[in-house]
Amino acid sequence: MTADIHLAFDHPEARAAATAHPEPRDRISLRDHTVEVEIGAFQAERGTRQHICFNIVVEVVPVTGPIDDDVDRILSYDRITEAIAHELAAERLNLLETLAERVAERILLEPQARRVFVRIEKLDRGPGALGVEIVRSRSEAPMGPTVEAHEDDAPHPLVVYLTNAVIAARGLSAIIDGLEATGQPLIFCVEYPVAVAPQSALAAVQRRIDLLSIEQKAWVLAGRDHRCVVVGTRTELDWAIRNGQISVWAPSKIVLDAVDGPTAGPRNSLALAAWFAGEMHAAELVTVGVAPPADCPTPVRELTLKG
């Protein structure tokens, strides 16, 4: 028992050695790699950066033949730190467990990698270190050339911005019919509602209130056409895009979790939709009832209403 406890709190190198594969493998390690980032599920952790520490060991297939001092023949340490940086930059996360899974998955996409030990610890949440440790093997990781290649294969949706007047119009269903007939995945963004939202002197609180006001308008749209489903997470949006579901974007989670969030506030809902279209790698941002924004990372088009 004492040995097991010691192993549990030792560096992942010790655990890798204790559970070594019968076939000899080399190991490379990253020790005490500390970064500062915003992460955490508690409200007190939002808007605050904290230090987290990574200890990672990767078991690799031994190189056959002479290495010849050639960096291209080995798994570089930089690939490990790049995996960490990539996942931290992708979106704000609540859980260390999620971060560990994603880092492990990315490392295991490297051809040499066979098993990875990932330990992540929060250093600022108490007198000690609070963390998680996972072990993943190549057989458990999704197979494919690269994560980027998988993302490139995803269909690109039309992000469609609807004004309040359009949502209230009698011809709303006909508009949706026409957009649906294009055969492209649809995500609707809605205008900030006309009604005045509750007011707060705190900017962060007001931002949340305003985002929730947009979500209320999203539900109004969903109530007007049964094909429209209110969606707030990237995972569900990706599923909807691949399965032909029309989504109405509820922005709170994606906006609040974004590493590089929108510069415009929620009340500038057109600019918010333009930012979202860029995040979703949309084929186009289509505006209905208003001219498109001048500066948008995505191709824009205004849908002209008849009559």
Predicted confidence (pLDDT) per residue in 28-73, tens digit:
999 999 999 999 988 888 889 999 999 999 998 876 656 555 555 6
What pLDDT score was predicted for residue 147?
46
Concatenated DSSP letters of 211-223: HHHHHHHHHHHHH
What pLDDT score was predicted for residue 239?
87
Over the Cα atoms of the chain, what is R_g? 24
What pLDDT score was predicted for residue 2?
45
Largest CA distance in the chain: 80
11-149 maps to CATH 3.30.1130.10: yes
pLDDT tens readout for residues 270-296: 999 999 999 999 999 999 999 999 889
Domain ranges of the chain: 11-149, 154-303
Query: Residue 145: how many CB atoms within 10 A of its CB?
Result: 9
Which residue stretches of 186-306 are H helix?
203-224, 234-243, 252-257, 269-279
154-303 maps to CATH 3.40.1160.10: yes
Owner of token pair 């060991």 = 57
Closest CA to 249 of 260, 266, 303, 264: 266
What pLDDT score was predicted for residue 88?
94
Helical axes 77-90 vs 96-107, angle rounded to 10°:
140
| pLDDT tens over the chain, length 307 residues | 345 545 555 676 676 666 666 666 788 999 999 999 999 988 888 889 999 999 999 998 876 656 555 555 668 888 899 999 999 998 899 999 999 999 999 999 988 899 999 999 999 988 889 999 999 998 755 544 444 444 455 689 999 999 999 999 999 999 999 999 999 999 999 999 988 788 999 999 999 999 999 999 999 999 999 999 999 988 889 889 988 999 999 999 999 988 889 999 999 999 999 999 999 999 999 999 999 998 898 999 999 876 5
Q: What is the C-alpha to C-alpha distance for residues 47 and 49, in angstroms, rounded to an integer?
A: 7
